[in-house]
Amino acid sequence: MKVPFNKVYQTGAEDAYVLEAIHSGLQCGNHQFCERVIDLMKQRYGFQQVYLVPSGTAALEMGAVLAGIEPGDEVILPSYTFSSTVNSVVLFGAKPVFCEVDPKTLNIDVTKIEALITPKTKMIVPIDYAGLSCDIDAVMDIANRHHLIVMQDCAQSYGTRYKGRPAGTVPHLATFSFHETKNFSAGEGGALICNVPEWELRAHFLQEKGTDRRLVLNGMKNKYSWVDKGSSYLLSDVLAAMLLAQLEHEDEIRGKRGQITAMYDRLFEPYFEKGVIDIMRPTKDDELNNHAYWAVFDTTENRQRFMDECRKSEIYVYIGYMPLHSAPYGLKFGYKPEDLPITESIGWRVARLPYYTAMADGCLDYVYENMSKVLKSIYGF
Ligand SMILES: *Cc1c(COP(=O)(O)O)cnc(C)c1O
């Protein structure tokens, strides 16, 4: 049996919606299916404003423009994240200021943020790694005391709740990804959530190439003009149709994925107890969306052995992120690997386990049996 790292899941409802979108005669952004997705997201999770965009990356970029990121600004973010998180601010001239992660969550270590704040700091961009929320309350508290903007990269946490509140509802800005590797796929797609009422009109302008076309659509003007900077941050209605089908099956998808998390918990528990492998440890504050699963091995060598041995059974385990501060482009900002020793150490030891919705339909026993054998051969118990 072959168990890839990721596989796209189809609910069966995509076909009809996509055909309908194709034949509707209206295929660009913010038409019927986009509106239905936005309504669904708002109703289910109570987001203030939702903008459907071409990718999680585009959502971060649009958010950075909306936050007013300019050359000279500093933005605090974890080094342990995807390149898109940092690129979104680097593209507009900001300097990334990398923060350590908490080894328990692999999310930004909130106790180390305040020491990084300078008069140039404008924004904090935490992420929710593997769908587990960062301590967003602590981040907001720091931000409010220092008058900073918070943009939460929720690319992996659509549907997660923290202390009862859905991911994306707490910060000023939040971003989701609907890339095919995420829980709900439009192929490529994303959303920017804006919870600041005064930014709403400008967000529409930025999304519509810097024009006030929204005022024309609302009947408030009869000709639109160039009023701001902006880009084409719009998701095609055809892709929104696919996304709608996925989001309408959220409970089914989350339920299946929950079985994967349970299987990995059972598998790694003995190794976690003995202190040789660290795993995700959600607390009573966390309600997970079942996005992914990670394991931090005691040594790089044991991680490598685990990946190599699993591959012999055609089970594809991958490394996690390589830290950004010590990546080739991170070094150009003056960083050295030893500047963030915790992140650096974890980067060399973390593995991401195969995790996709259809795994629940027949792969779980195979993965459990084979990985058990591999772990026993490495650790001897
Ligand atoms: C997937 C991901 C992104 C990028 O999303 P795309 O839709 O692929 O552009 C950004 N940040 C994080 C943390 C991600 O996991």
pLDDT digits (tens, 9 = 90+) for 290-307: 999 999 999 999 999 999
Distance 216 CA to ligand 1 centre (A): 32
pLDDT at 79: 98
Distance 55 CA to ligand 1 centre (A): 8
- CA angle in degrees (0–180, nearest 5) for 317-265-135: 90
| Per-residue pLDDT band at 316 (split at 50, 70, 90) | very high
* Mean pLDDT of the region 138-163: 98
pLDDT at 211: 97
At 70, the amino acid letter reads E
pLDDT at 194: 98
Measured from the CA of 127, which atom of ligand 1 is nearest? 13
Give the residue, out of 176, 177, 322, with the most ligand 1 atoms within 8 A of its beta carbon, to mutate for a pocket test: 177
Distance 168 CA to ligand 1 centre (A): 15
| Per-residue pLDDT band at 342 (split at 50, 70, 90) | very high
* Mean pLDDT of the region 320-328: 97
pLDDT at 127: 98
Distance 45 CA to ligand 1 centre (A): 20
Measured from the CA of 188, which atom of ligand 1 is nearest? 7
Measured from the CA of 177, which atom of ligand 1 is nearest? 7
Distance 26 CA to ligand 1 centre (A): 28
Distance 359 CA to ligand 1 centre (A): 22
Atom 5, ligand 1: which residue's CA is nearest?
Answer: 56
User: On the CB side of 345, how many CA atoms lie within 13 Å of its CA?
Assistant: 12
User: Around Cβ 179, how many Cβ atoms within 10 Å?
Assistant: 18
pLDDT digits (tens, 9 = 90+) for 52-66: 999 999 999 999 999
Mean pLDDT, all residues of the chain? 98
Give the residue, out of 82, 87, 185, 243, with the most ligand 1 atoms within 8 A of its beta carbon, to mutate for a pocket test: 82
- Higher pLDDT among residues 245 and 217, named by residue: 245
User: Around Cβ 23, how many Cβ atoms within 10 Å?
Assistant: 8
Measured from the CA of 57, which atom of ligand 1 is nearest? 9
| Per-residue pLDDT band at 74 (split at 50, 70, 90) | very high
Give the residue, out of 81, 84, 151, 188, with the most ligand 1 atoms within 8 A of its beta carbon, to mutate for a pocket test: 84
pLDDT at 30: 92
pLDDT at 224: 96
**Any residues with Cβ below 6 Å from ligand 1, and which?**
55-57, 81-82, 84-85, 127, 153, 155-156, 177, 179, 190
pLDDT at 237: 98
Q: Are 48 and 60 in contact (CB under 8 A)?
A: no
* Mean pLDDT of the region 115-134: 98
Distance 90 CA to ligand 1 centre (A): 16
d(CA 327, CA 83): 10
User: Around Cβ 318, how many Cβ atoms within 10 Å?
Assistant: 12
286-287 sheet: strands from edge to edge: 165-166, 161-162, 286-287
Distance 84 CA to ligand 1 centre (A): 6
pLDDT at 341: 98
pLDDT digits (tens, 9 = 90+) for 202-215: 999 999 999 999 99
In the chain the first and final C-alpha atoms are separated, in Å, by 25
Dihedral through CA 312, CA 315, CA 319, CA 321, nearest 10?
A: 160
Atom 6, ligand 1: which residue's CA is nearest?
Answer: 56
Distance 379 CA to ligand 1 centre (A): 34
pLDDT digits (tens, 9 = 90+) for 75-124: 999 999 999 999 999 999 999 999 999 999 999 999 999 999 999 999 99
Burial class (CB in 10 A: 0-12, 13-18, 19+), 4: exposed
| Per-residue pLDDT band at 285 (split at 50, 70, 90) | very high
* Mean pLDDT of the region 375-381: 97
Distance 79 CA to ligand 1 centre (A): 15
Measured from the CA of 156, which atom of ligand 1 is nearest? 15
